Structure 1
Amino acid sequence: MNDAPNPVTSVPAATLPRHTTLSTLESLIWTELDLAVHSRASADRPAHPWRRAAFATVGEDGPEVRSIVLRDLQADRRELVFYADARSPKVAQLRADPRGQILCWSEPLGWQVRLACTIEIATDGLDVTARWARIRHRPAAHDYLSPLAPGSPLEAPAVPLAPERVRESFAVLTARVRAIDWLELHAQGHRRARFEHGREPQWLVP
């Protein structure tokens, strides 16, 4: 868990040699994910496009997708971390089926990555306590302080907060990446590749 600024900057796809090897591409994907995790929007620069990603789960009525914010990364373990309300439908869905998929798109890079993951859910322990301590006084903490579960019916838009709730609704989700489907949209020709843990990477037809 590290929020220190990352000195590496994103490399536009147009500047990469077209003969880039699969091993180099996989390393670049994880570099971009690391940049996304540590990216913060400012007055003169937006956050990395991959910081806010789409996340799909399997629900009773089929696939469901929503936006998430990537919070942390452990590249050596192929893990990404994001947060959720423990009462949310996506957490219930993941308890029934821990498979999920994260989708990231970057216009500057012209890259789309689809990350097939297995999700672990944690609602207690030292790591959860430490992460909650870091966000509890930020606006983001309000997402977990409602007395009502996400998706509950309301008579008005405003949701009351319950400051006495410490962190019982705060969940840390760790996505262990099983496979990456990478797609590059490029004026000189599109490219696609698959990186699956434990297997040789493979070029694919875009």
Structure 2
Amino acid sequence: MDAALADILTGAWATLTRGAADRRSPVHTPVIASIGTSTGSDATPDARVMVLRHVDPAAATLRFHTDARSPKCRDLDGRPVAVLAYHPGQAVQLRLHGRARIVTQGPEADAAWAASTPFARRCYLAEHPPGTPLPAPGSGLPADVEGLKPSEARLLQARPHFALLLVTIHHIDWLHLAQTGHRRARFEAADGWRGRWLVP
């Protein structure tokens, strides 16, 4: 892989890593797309915005958090997914393809749970799974934690509902928009990474 392509790949991972660490980054909330089963058809595409929590360039893995009871866990676990992020300051679009898996137990899930704030963990106290119909607008949270910081003891009841969505990336499509001419490159994971230039 030539030096320019190598620099682009390094920069793409750096953008994603910064996006996970900085909630003000436009890359902090990418779109995750999949072919859904919860909508009733394996052929129905679905997409949702999720918060990028951690990036591991060495393992080519992105980490998100979700409710283990959510229908999207069935859509995503073990299946191919696409991740779309755009950074307007860099004029760079990143389209990533990989395979997802849902993790609810183990050291990685426990560490992510412990590192989350009480308010972030509070949403997993919802009494019913995401998507459950309500008679009126509401958060689904129990009255004793609505708008309040739960105690650690109360949050223990939420832990079984917490899950990691891990996406192992196999392809990265990088597009830079410029008035002087767009540039596009594609990278594939195969005993390291291979890159090539494409027509934008």
Q: Classify the TM-score, shorter chain.
A: 0.7 to 0.9
Query: How many residues were matched structurally?
Result: 180
Distance, in Å, in 2 between the alignment partners of 1:174 and 1:75 is 13
TM-score (normalizing by structure 2):
0.84
Distance, in Å, in 1 between the alignment partners of 2:176 and 2:126 is 41
Gaps of 5+ in 1: 1-18, 41-46
Considering fraction of residues, name the structure with more helix: 2
Matching residue of 1:155: 135
Distance, in Å, in 1 between the alignment partners of 2:180 and 2:117 is 47
Report whether the alignment pairs 1:131 with 2:112: yes
- One-letter amino acid matched to 1:157: P
Deviation string 1:151-196 (CA, Å, 9 cap, x unpaired) is 1100011223384623111001111100001111111101111001
Distance, in Å, in 2 between the alignment partners of 1:113 and 1:127 is 26
Percent of aligned pairs with the same residue?
Answer: 34
Q: CA deviation at 1:133?
A: 1.8
RMSD between superposed Cα atoms in Å? 1.8
* Contact 1:194/1:202 (<8 A) preserved: yes
Matching residue of 1:10: none
Q: Find the partner of 2:89 among 85, 93, 108.
A: 108
Q: CA deviation at 1:20?
A: 7.3
Matching residue of 1:181: 173
Gaps of 5+ in 2: 146-153
Report whether the alignment pairs 1:118 with 2:118: no
Q: CA deviation at 1:134?
A: 2.1
Matching residue of 1:142: 122
- One-letter amino acid matched to 1:179: H
Distance, in Å, in 1 between the alignment partners of 2:28 and 2:128 is 27
